[in-house]
Amino acid sequence: MIEIDGSVGEGGGQVLRSALSLSCLTGEGFHIYNIRKNRSKSGLMRQHLMAVQAAARISSANVAGDRLGSPELSFLPDRITAGEYSFDIGTAGSATLVLQTVIPPLLAARKASRVTVIGSTHVPFSPSWNYFEEIFWPSIARLGVRGETTARSFGFYPKGGGRVECTVEPAEVLAPYLPRERGKLTRLRIVSAVGNLPRTIAERQIQSALTGLKGKLERGLPMDIETRELTIFGQGTFIFIKAEYEHAVAGFTALGERGKPAETVGAEAASEFLEHHESGEAVDPHLADQLVLYLARGTGASLFRTSRITSHLAINLLVTGYFLKLSCRVEGREGGPGAVAITPTS
């Protein structure tokens, strides 16, 4: 059984989620300790516990330590089984993180699966549904992943209530990732949304983002701008910027919260996009770490450049190396742009 120190890197939930995915995929059991040790509330929170339970269901795993607040966990999977699965986090935990835990192993199932998750679609420190659907999913589709994604409803912290669905078809092999230079920026898509709040807040978020972008982009750049009013439990706001290049896409989300001005929300998204855009690199920092588990199963060497090397990238490379044989190399310092090479060796 593989021993994993959950306090490595940021000491957050990413270590656990990646280990769960890879354990199901390879059949290798693991024991993790110091779960989320570096967080203010350490141990398993509700959304992490749901990721454990979801992984256990699809793999008929034997689990010990699967309780709220637990600082350690033992997980021994059996066989991956395709099927219709529904997971209700029960809180405002991230629905996309639960999906990202079960998608890699379900690719190895013999039949297609449908997964429904109830929770939050827009929550801090996790991929927003917009990013999952418009950036992450098309990116893994280029590697050979097939299926569909649907959001039935959105949910925000602290009420939750979002409902998303994802179908995953079997994929015996995945292609390596060798993106070309990203090319010219061809279009920006900006979506600003509010739920049970004045529409003017969404409009102010957009105006703030546009102000931050003024003078930084080529004149005449096509822009699709959308303001949405959502039907949700509680209240919430977000703005999402999708950058379409000739050979790449990138996405950036900022969320509203009580006491946070709409102007700050819009400015955050614009600033994050500009940091990526001005780097000249093809892969945004969020996608870079999310691709690791898939590239480690590729049919050949993958090589890409990202606008920012993150601790999540380092963590996913480390944990993947516990379960799969691969050679990896990262050029550049954390926080700056760099190159990533991943080569499966067996």
Residue 9 Rama label (left phi>0; alpha psi -120 to 50; beta): left
Give me the phi and psi of 5, to 5 degrees please: -90, 110
Cis link prior to 158 (omega < 30° from 0)?
yes
Q: Which of 122, 276, 277, 312 is catalytic?
A: 312
* Measured torsion, CA atoms of residues 317, 322, 327, 328, in degrees rounded to the nearest 10: 10
Tokens describing residue 245: 């290049």
| 266 contacts: CB under 8 Å, gap ≥ 6 | 192, 204, 205, 206, 207, 208, 209, 210, 211, 212, 239, 254
Cβ pair 115, 165 in contact under 8 A: yes
| 40 contacts: CB under 8 Å, gap ≥ 6 | none
Q: Tell me 133's DSSP state.
A: I
276 is catalytic: no
Annotated catalytic sites, by residue? 312
